[in-house]
Amino acid sequence: MHIEVNNRPIEAQAGETILAALRRAGVSVPTLCHMEGLLPSGACRICAVEVEGQRSLIPACSYPVAEGMKIRTHSPRAVAARRTIIELLLSNHPDDCLYCVRNTSCQLQTLAAEHGVTQRRFSGLRSNHTIDISGPALGRDPAKCILCGKCVRECEEVQSVAAIDFIGRGSATRVGPAFNEGLNLSSCILCGQCVMVCPTGALFEQSHLRQVMAAIQDPEMTVVIQHAPAVSVTLAEAFGLPPGQDMAGTMTAALRRLGFDQVFDTSFSADLTIMEEASELVQRLTSGGILPMMTSCSPGWIKFMEEFYPDMLGHLSTCKSPQQMLGAVIKSYWAPRQGLDPTKVFSVAVMPCTAKKFEASRPEMVHDGVADIDAVLTTRELVQLIRMHGLDMLALPPEPADRPFGERSTAGKLFGGSGGVMEAAIRTACFLVTGKDPEALEVEAVRGLHGVKQTRVKVGELELGVAVVSGLGNARKLVEQVRAGRDDLHFIEVMTCPGGCIAGGGQLLGVDRAGLERRLAGLYAIDAAGAVRMSHHNEAVAELYREFLGQPLGERSHHLLHTHYHRRDVVK
C-alpha cells in the first residue's frame, strides 16, 4: 500500500495505523497516550495529523491507513493544534517543574519546550487534588496527572489488577483508586508499571534515599548494600553506554565511594533461593505436595495472589525472595561473625523494583524487631545517588564485590530476566534428582521476552511441565487454568513485570522493547561466559550451609529463608 507523507511516498501495510506507518518510515509524531501492543485509546489527540480530504485533524494513533492517503504531519494547522493542546495541559498543571520528581525527564515538559511554549495563553482554575502517599511503595500526585490513561490501562489491561480508574467527569475527572481512597486500601500490588508509563510526575516511588544517606552518615552504623541481578545490566544506559553492558564491577566501586561498607550481590542469594526452591520442588514432587509450585521471588505477584486468589496460596513456594534471604543471613549470620550488633547494621538493597520496598516492610520479614532489609533503592534512585555524588562512571575502575556474599553463579544472575529462575532451578533440580549436572544448561524455550512460555523438561527420570509467565494479566489466565483443573504443570515461574525484573517498575524510564532485549542479552552473555553456571556449585553458598544453615529445607532455613502468606482484603 502506498501513502504519501509530507510529499514523500512511503510504504504502508493494510490494516495498520497511520502512526505505525509513520514510525517505520522514521517520521516522528508526538504521542502521550499511545501504548505499543494495546488498542489505541485516542485520548490525548497530540498525534493529530492533517489528512487530505478529511474535515478535521486525524489522530495518527488510531486511524487506519488507506491507499493513496496524503498526510501532512507537521502542517501549520497540525502543529498549532498540538501546541494548543500542550498549552491547555499546562494551564491545568502545577508550575513546580523545578521541584518535580520528573524534572528533566517529563514528557510534557519536553513537548512544551519542543513546541516553543514560552508564554501562558490560558489561565484559570486548576484542579485541586491532594497527594496520596498512603501506599507503601508508590505515591500519586493527581494534580500533575494529564489523564492520558496509560497507568489505568497498564494496571487493568496488562496487569489485570485494575487498582485505579477514572473518577468523576468533565474537568473534575481524575485517576484514583476505588472510592477515591488511598492506594494503601486499594488492590495496588506496587509493581510500579504505572510509574514506567506515566509521562509526568503524577506517579512516583516512595524514596528511601534520605534514610540511606542518614545511615551512611551515622558513624555507629555499618551500612551494607546488595544489588539485584537486573541492575548491573541496566545502569549503563543512564551514563550514555550501550544497554545490556554489565556494570557490576563499576557499580561496586561506585557504591563503596558512596560510603557503603560492604557491597554484596543479590545473585548470591538467588543461588541460595535456588537451593531451597529446587529442594522444595523435589520434595513436593516426591512427597505429593501441592502442584504446580509457583515461584515467590516477585513481591507484586505475592500480593496479587493474596488479594485475588487466597485459595491458591498453597501453590506458592514458601521461599523468601533473594533480597529477603540475603537480608536475613546478613543480620543473623554475617553480622555476629563480624562482631557486629545486628541492630547496628543497616541493610540496603538496590532493586529494579518498587514492590520490593513493600516486601521489605512486610511484618513477616521482621524478626525480633530486626528487619531483614532496612531500605530499598530503585535503579533510578541509585542513579540519582551516583549523580548527586558526582561520580564519573566511565572513569571508575571496576572492583570485585565483598565476600562472602559477593560470590555468585551465573544461574543466580539469570534471575534478572523472565525465565531465569526456571532455568536456574532446572539446572539444580537435575543435580538434586540425579546427582549429576545436566548436559545442556540452556533451556531455550523459557528464554526471551514472551509473556507466556511453556515447555516440558526432563529432570532425571521425571518429565516436568513448566510454564514461565510475566505480566500479571498472563499470570491470571494461567492461575485460572490451574484453578479450573489444569494438571500438566509442575512448576511455574511468575514475574510481575512483563519481561521480568529487567523491565521492573524501579528501572530507568523510557526504555523500549529493543532496549529490554539488550538487557536480557546482557544477562545471557554473562551466563554464557560464566565460570560457575549452577547454583549448587556456588562455593560461598555451600560454605553457608556447612557453617550455618545445615541443609536446604533444614531447621535454620525454615526459620530464616522461608515465609508464609495470608489472605488480604482490599477494595477491588
Partner 1 sequence: MRETLIDPCCDACWHGPAEFCNDLLRCLASGPCCHDSASCAQERQRRRQALRRDVVERPTIFVGTGTCGLGAGAARTLEAIQAWLLEHDRRADVVEVGCIGMCSVEPLVEVQLPGRTRVCFQHVTERTVPGLLEKALAGEMPAESVLGQHRHERLQPWSGVPYLDEHPFFAPQTRWVLANCGIIDPSDLDEYLAWGGYRALAKVLADMTPAEVCRAVELSGLRGRGGGGFPTGRKWSIANGRPGPQKYLVCNADEGDPGAFMDRAVIEGDPHRLLEGMAIAAYAIGASKAYVYIRAEYPLAIRRLVHAIGEAKTRGLLGERILGTDFHLEIVIKQGAGAFVCGEETALLHSIEGRRGMPRPRPPFPAQAGLFGKPTVINNVETLANVPAILDHGPEWFASVGTAGSKGTKVFALSGKITRTGLVEVAMGTTLREIVFDIGGGIPDGKAYKAVQIGGPSGGCIPLQHLDIQIDYESLKTVGAMMGSGGLVVMDEATCMVDVAKFFMDFIQRESCGKCIPCREGTRRMLEILQAITRARRNESGFDALQRFQGVMALEQLAEVIKDTSLCGLGQSAPNPVLSTLRYFRDEYEAHIYDRKCPARACSELLTYSIDVERCVGCGLCLKACPAQAILGTPKSPHYIVAEKCISCGSCVTVCRPKAVRVE
User: Is residue 52 a contact point for partner 1 (CB under 8 A)?
Assistant: no
Residue 95 buriedness (CB in 10 A; 0-12 / 13-18 / 19+): exposed
* Longest distance between any two alpha carbons in the chain, whole Å: 80
Q: What is the DSSP string of 413-455?
A: HGGGSTTHHHHHHHHHHHHHHHSS--S----GGG-SS-SEEEE
CB of 31 to partner 1, least distance (A): 12
Rounded to a whole number of angstroms, the minimum distance from the CB of residue 140 to partner 1 is 17
CA 184 – CA 187 distance, rounded (Å): 8
Alpha helices in 154-289 (DSSP H): 193-197, 209-217, 229-232, 248-257, 266-287
Residues tagged active-site: 277, 280, 297, 317, 356, 359, 364, 501
Nearest approach in angstroms of CB 34 to partner 1 is: 12
Binding span for partner 1 by CB under 8 A among 78-86, 431-439, 491-499, 557-565: 78-86
Secondary structure (3-state) at 458? strand
Amino acid at 284: R
Q: Does 38 contact partner 1 by CB under 8 A? A: no
State which of residues 6, 75, 92, 184 lies at the interface with partner 1 (CB under 8 A): 92
Query: Contact between 44 and partner 1 (CB under 8 A)?
Result: yes
The answer to whether 171 contacts partner 1 (rule: CB under 8 A) is yes
> Is residue 22 a contact point for partner 1 (CB under 8 A)?
no
**Of 5, 12, 65, 89, which lies in the binding site for partner 1, with binding defined by CB under 8 A?**
89
Q: Which stretch binds partner 1 (CB under 8 A): 162-170, 342-350, 427-435, 478-486?
A: 162-170
Residue with cell 497530540: 46
45 makes contact with partner 1 (CB under 8 A): yes
Interface pick for partner 1 out of 25, 74, 79, 84 (rule CB under 8 A): 84
**What is the spatial distance between Cα 325 and Cα 332, in angstroms, rounded to a whole number?**
11
* Interface pick for partner 1 out of 64, 242, 400, 550 (rule CB under 8 A): 64
d(CA 402, CA 400): 7
DSSP at 536? G
Does 169 sit near partner 1 (CB under 8 A)?
A: yes
Size of the site for partner 1 (CB under 8 A): 39
Q: Is residue 224 a contact partner of residue 266, using CB atoms and an 8 Å limit?
A: no
Q: Which residue number, 169 or 436, has a Cβ lying nearer to partner 1? A: 169
Q: Does 452 bind partner 1 (CB under 8 A)?
A: no
| Cα 434 to Cα 77: distance, rounded to the nearest angstrom | 71
Q: Which of 91, 73, 94 is nearest to 31 (CA)?
A: 73
Asked if 466 and 491 count as a contact pair (C-beta separation under 8 A), the reply is yes
- x-or-dash string of contact with partner 1, 118-157, rule CB under 8 A: ---xxxxx--------------------xx-x--------
Least Cβ distance, residue 109 to partner 1 (angstroms):
16
> Which positions from 493 through 522 interact with partner 1, judged by CB under 8 A?
none
Beta carbon nearer to partner 1, 81 or 190: 81
Work out how close the CB of 157 gets to partner 1 at its nearest, in angstroms, rounded to a whole number: 12
List 38, 172, 388, 528, residue binding partner 1 (CB under 8 A):
172
Query: Which cell goes with 72?
Result: 501532512
CA atoms 211, 213, 214, 218: torsion sign: positive
Binds partner 1 (CB under 8 A): choice among 1, 16, 23, 42: 42
160 is a site residue for partner 1 (CB under 8 A): no
Helix (H) or strand (E) holding 296: none
Closest separation in Å from C-beta 57 to partner 1: 5
Query: Who contacts 281 (Cβ-Cβ below 8 Å, separation ≥6)?
Result: 293, 317, 425, 429, 490, 491
Q: Which conformational region is residue 42 in: left (phi greater than 0), alpha (psi within -120 to 50 degrees), or beta?
A: left
Closest approach, Cβ 220 to partner 1, in A, equals 53
- Nearest approach in angstroms of CB 503 to partner 1 is 28
DSSP 392-423: -TTTPPP-PPPTTTT---HHHHGGGSTTHHHH
Q: Does residue 180 interact with partner 1 by CB under 8 A?
A: no
Cβ 205 vs Cβ 139: under 8 Å: yes
Binding-site ranges for partner 1 (CB under 8 A): 40-46, 48, 56-57, 59, 62-64, 77, 80-81, 84-85, 88-89, 91-92, 121-125, 146-147, 149, 165-166, 168-173
